[in-house]
Every structure is written in C-alpha cells, then in structure tokens.
Structure 1
Amino acid sequence: MRLQRKTTIGLLAGAACLLSAQAFAAPITSFDFTVGGGFVDGTATCDNGGACNLSYSNIDPLSGDYLNINWGTPANTNASGLQITHDPDGLGAIQVGAGPQRVGAFSHSNFVLQAAGSWMNFVQLSGIFNLFDPDSNLIAPTPIVQLNNLAFHETLNANPCQDPFPGGNVTVCDDVFTTEVLAAAFNFTIDGYIYTFTFGFEAGDGITGFIFDTWDFGDGDVPVVRIWTQENGTSTIYTTATIDVRPVPEPGTLAMFGLSLLGMGAYARRKKQR
C-alpha cells in the first residue's frame, strides 16, 4: 500500500513537470521583418513659403514613397538633403533578447546655407513595418503603417546663431529636426511566451544633440524626438527594434501542478497521523 501511494504521488508530480515542460518549450529566437517608408511626395514645404528647389528621388519598393529629398537655391551651390536607408528589398531579422538592433537609417547631408537661401522646413514621412514568425505568418497588430510629421530648421551661420531650441546641442549653429516618435510597444503571445516589441532611436555619427520633448504640428502636442546635426558633414540616426520574451504559465499547467501539491500534502498529513 505504501508503494502504491508513493507511485501515485510520483505520477502526479511527473504529470505536472511534463505539462510544465510542454508549456515552456524553447522560445522563438528570431523573427523576420520587412521595412519600408519614405518622404511622401508633395508634402514638403520651404521656409516662409519660399522656393528651395525641392526634389524627390529613389522610390522605396514597399511604400512607393521616396527615399531621398534634396533642396538648395542658386545662392547655395551645395544641395542639402535627407536619405532613408535600409536593406534594398526591405528584408531583415531581429534576434530575441539581443537588445536594440538597427533596422534602418536616416541621414542628413548638411551644408552651410547663406541667409539669402531657403530650405525645406516640413515633410511627411511614411513608415511600414511587418513582423513575421518562423512560419512566415504575419504577427498582429502589425503591419505598422504610420505617417510622421517632420519639421526642420536650418540654423543660419550668422553671428550669433539663431538656434530656435538652445540648450539641446553641444556645438553652435547646428541644424535641428523635430519628428514624432515611432509607434509604441506592443505584446504578442506564441506557444506560452509573451514577446514585447519596441521601436527606438540610436544616435550615430554627426549627431550633436538628442532629446525627447512634445511639439504641436497643428493638431495639439504630440511626443517628439529633437535632433541636432553638425554643419558641413553627414549625420545619421538609426531606427532600432527590440524583442524581449518572458514565459506565461498556462492555466492547465497551474491546475495540474496544484493538484499534485494537494496530493503530496494529503499524503504527508495522513502519514503524520499514523
């Protein structure tokens, strides 16, 4: 009889451990993605309504928008511009638990503009991001399709410089970008694990200031990131993505584990009473 009780307890505990092992099978280590986006044709404007010879080029295959925008005037022979860079086919992979990983880049070719010149001061950006599991299934709530406002101020190299946002940069006369932050984090669950996806920014070469703030583009204050870029060079800021994972016990596993504990507890009490 004693052997039978021990066998029953062992089976209960073993069943709980088996179900637990099934619920906590190895998590996914990598997710594929496609990324696209660009400058939306016809949305760019020049400061004070002036003409700054705006030009779009290099169509992004996923979004149909432009990866390059340039501006300049006869008074400024070097054309300043912005460029969005990612894999030519928009393909990539994110490793789980590896921290922020670069999924795209945003570069500013910055030249000194004279007071007589004009510059691009606003444009809309499109962004598309699709995340896929190892079986190539699209993960909700993606695809992320987002339109962001981007304001730009060319700080003229006068004396003194007229920086509209003093205190955020480390050198004088830097140009300033103000753009809405990317979509917030979201969670999704696969096979007993919760995965958390987040976007972020990483400052690259030539970035002299980087702060989070709020800004009103005309429809009320929204969260923004403000970026300062150095003169006479190319500055780059990277878009990053992170996926973290944590296990979620299944209700059935918890119930079976609880039954096994109750069985062991009842056996211990009966043994003590004898």
Structure 2
Amino acid sequence: MKTFRTLASGLALAAVCIGLSTAASAALITEWRFDATNDWVNTTFNSPGPQAPTNNFLVSDTLPDGSDPNGAGNNFDIIRWGTPASGSPSRSFLALDDVHGSAGLFTNDPNGVAGTTVYHGNYRQLASGQQWLDTTTAATTITLTPVTPEGEPLDPIERQFFINFTETIDTPDVGSCPGAPWPTGTTACPDSFTVDLSEAAFSITIDDYIYTFSLLLLDEAGSQNIARLTFEDGQATVWTEEGVRSTLVTRIVVTAEQVSEPAPLALLGAGLAVAGLARRRKKQTA
C-alpha cells in the first residue's frame, strides 16, 4: 500500500507539473496597433544646377504636382528640388506620410497592414536652375502596441527603419546608367531607393512567443511606376521610372512562434522518476 501511495503521489506531481505548464502559457497576442512617424534626414544637393536650393522642405496636405493620393487632409513630409523644365508639372520631389497609423495588424496574417508610402515625382528639371537632390534617407520610427487579447497592458515596441535614396544624374547613353542594361524604350536613367535588409526585420520574445516584425519594401498591388526590384549584398534596391510620379508602398507583417517548452509527456516521466526514486529510498531504509 505504501508503494501505491508513493506512485500515486508521483503521478500527482506530474499532473501538477503539467497543470502549471498549461497555466503558465501566456496567450498569443493576435492583434497590434501600428503607428509610424517619418522624417527626411542626411539630405544633400549638388550640380548640375548652379543656384543654391531654396524652399526645399515642407509639410503639406498635397504633393508639389497638386495631387493628393492620401485624401482626407493627411499631411506629407516633402523634399523638392530643381527648376521645372518646359512641360514638367512641378519641381522634382520625394514625399512620405508625415504620420501614419492603424489597428488591424494581425499576427501571422501574410497581408499585414500598409506601412509608410513614399512618392517620387521624377520630372525634368533645368540644368541651369536650382541644384538637384543628391542623396537623402527616410527615417521611419514605428510603434507597435498590443491590442488583443486585453489584459495587463504591455509597453509598446519601438524601432526605426531607414530607406536611402539616390538621385541618378541622367546621361546621354542610357546603357551607361547605374543598373544597366535597361529594357528597350528606357529613355532616361531610373533612380533608386535602397534598404539594408538587416534593418528590415527584428524579433522580440514576449512570454511564451517569439514575435518577428518585418518591413516588406514593395507592395506590388499598391506601388506604381517601379522599373525594377533587385537584391544584392544584403540590400534591396527599388528603381523608379523617369518622367512620372512613382508610388512605393511598404507593408508591415508580424509572425509568431511558440518558445520551446518541456512536453507534457516529459513532465509525466519526471513525475514517475520521482516516484521511482522514492521507492528506492524506502528499500534502502527498510
């Protein structure tokens, strides 16, 4: 009878271990709120324009060419440059959402939610006018706040992504442009955005899950006038077409996987081992 009680206590211990394992397993965060603030940093201008650039930075509810793709009065953070050539709708420009946010970022949803949108007005500018853009960087600060399940609030997660832009000076021979060869019919050198892919994703452990947040650089459904997307040496490069306004739509996606834990059967085995150890000790002292 003593042996039975010892075995029963070992099974009870295993059951307690399994129960504790189940109780300690925190719920998966299934929904997040996504917010972003965006700024242009490290901006430089150069020739061929001999005039110093003026009025280059502004925040506006419309783009320099008069369009408003966001609608609803949402502001754009804008850099503009050059002096428009005949027939060009405006100075060339880069613009992105000044602030952007939405709920509905669901864990393990491959569609994610729309991130920052970048607009490139790539228009002809006078070589005798104001200087042209050389390089700049879009610095995007994102904040991710758990929404569901409700309970004890968790601190928001904050990270930065950087998208570098290089303005390509047109050459008479498109065959000598960066990124060549270009398809037949390309009449001017495309410009490029580059992203260090090591900055484009990060992971964080919350309770029993590892969450990975990823920036998808090019949402093909929403992007327009993109000449090419390439990957090389840990970087992604998006090439935009000349003479039009290009739209680069990014997306944020979150995935999760459970942190490895001792399996319930292993815990049951541990309980049985305790029971066996207790039996051996009883025999030794008998």
TM-score by length of 2: 0.68
Equivalent position to 2:77, from 59, 67, 81:
67
Per the alignment, residue 241 of structure 1 pairs with: 252
| 1:38-94 alpha-carbon deviations (Å, 9 max, x no partner) | 223x8331345744656222179xxxx9711222315354322112127x5545452
1:96 is the counterpart of 2:107: yes
The aligned counterpart of 2:118 is 106
1:163 to 162, 168, 177: 177
Task: Please give the alpha-carbon distance, in whole angstroms, between the structure 1 residues aligned to 2:184 and 2:5.
Answer: 77
Instruction: Give the CA deviation at 1:116.
Output: 5.5
Q: Could you tell me how far apart the structure 2 residues matched to 1:103 and 1:186 are?
A: 16
Deviation at residue 262 of structure 1 after TM alignment: 3.0
* Separation in 2, partners of 1:5, 1:237: 68
CA contact (8 A) 2:7 2:276 kept: no
1:43 counterpart residue number = 43
Structure-to-structure mapping, 1:168-247, within 5 angstroms = 172=186, 173-181=188-196, 183-202=199-218, 203=220, 204-213=223-232, 223-247=234-258
- 1:126-179 CA distance string (max 9 Å, x none): 22122223455334xx532466542221435x4656522213778612521143
Identity %: 24
Is the contact made by 1:32 and 1:91 (CA closer than 8 Å) also made in structure 2? yes
Change (3 A) 1:160 1:239: closer
Closer, same or farther: CA 239–32 of 1 in aligned 2, 3 Å: same
Alpha carbons 1:35, 1:91 under 8 Å: kept: no
Q: Which moved more, 1:246-255 or 1:31-40?
A: 246-255
CA distance in 2, matches of 1:92, 1:26: 19
How far off its partner does 1:231 sit?
2.9
1:132 aligns with 2:148: no
Matched pairs, number: 251
Q: Shift of residue 37 of structure 1? A: 1.2
SS at match of 2:82: strand
TM-score of the superposed pair, with normalisation by structure 1: 0.71
Distance apart, 1:16 and its partner CA? 3.6
5+ residue gaps, structure 2: 62-74, 279-286
Q: For residues 95 and 169 of structure 1, what CA distance do their matches in structure 2 show? A: 39
Counterpart of 1:218 in structure 2 is none
Question: Any gaps of 5 or more consecutive residues in structure 1?
Answer: 215-222, 268-274
Distance (whole Å) between structure 1 residues aligned to residue 27 and residue 184 of structure 2: 46
Q: Deviations over 1:12-36 (max 9, x none)?
A: 4432432232243431101223211
Q: Which amino acid aligns with 1:152?
A: E
| Aligned-partner SS, 1:166 | coil
SS at match of 1:19: helix
Distance 2:122 2:257 in 1: 43
Which stretch shifts more, 246-255 or 163-172?
246-255
Three-state SS of the structure 2 residue aligned to 1:73 is coil
What amino acid maps onto 2:146 in structure 1?
Answer: D
252-261 or 198-207, which deviates more? 252-261
Counterparts of 1:228 and 1:169 in 2: how far apart (Å)?
13
Q: Return the structure number with greater strand share.
A: 1
Structure 2: distance between partners of 1:175 and 1:226: 11
Single out whichever of 200-209 and 11-20 deviates more from structure 2: 11-20
RMSD of aligned alpha carbons: 3.9
Say if 1:38 and 1:66, in contact at 8 Å, map to a contact too. Answer: no
